[in-house]
Amino acid sequence: MNGMVDAKAAKARAKPAGNTTMRGGSSIPPHAHCRICQCPVDLKADPRVCKDPACIEELDRREASERRMRTWMLIFFGLFAFTFIGPVLLRAAG
């Protein structure tokens, strides 16, 4: 075994990856981050934003935009589906 590595010995010397924990010696308490500015907030904060009025306004603006986008997507999906299903229904009825 000249120049070759013993795989079994190397595996025995290696540290198992699953045995290390990040939180064990960490001094950072469990927390979440503000969805807007990424500052730490309490885990139980709902909605997950800090107390800054600018972050609260931005979250409201984003949620309104998401609702509007969801509504438009539903309308366009309905129109798209109707273009395929409508002729079939009209042919079956007439």
Taking only the tens place, the pLDDT of each residue in 22-47 is 555 678 888 899 999 999 999 988 88
- 4-8, 35-39, 87-91: which is most confident: 35-39
Residue 88 is assigned to a structural domain of this protein: yes
Count of domains for the chain = 1
pLDDT at 19 > cutoff 80: no
Residue 2 is assigned to a structural domain of this protein: no
Residue 5 is assigned to a structural domain of this protein: no
Other C-beta atoms lying within 10 Å of the C-beta of residue 55: 19
Residue 78 is assigned to a structural domain of this protein: yes
Residue 83 is assigned to a structural domain of this protein: yes
Residue 10 is assigned to a structural domain of this protein: no
Residue span of the structural domain in which 58 resides: 29-93
Taking only the tens place, the pLDDT of each residue in 44-81 is 888 899 999 999 999 999 999 999 999 999 999 999 99
Residue 18 is assigned to a structural domain of this protein: no
b (16+ CB within 10 A) / e for 8-40: eeeeeeeeeeeeeeeeeeeeeeeeeebebeeee
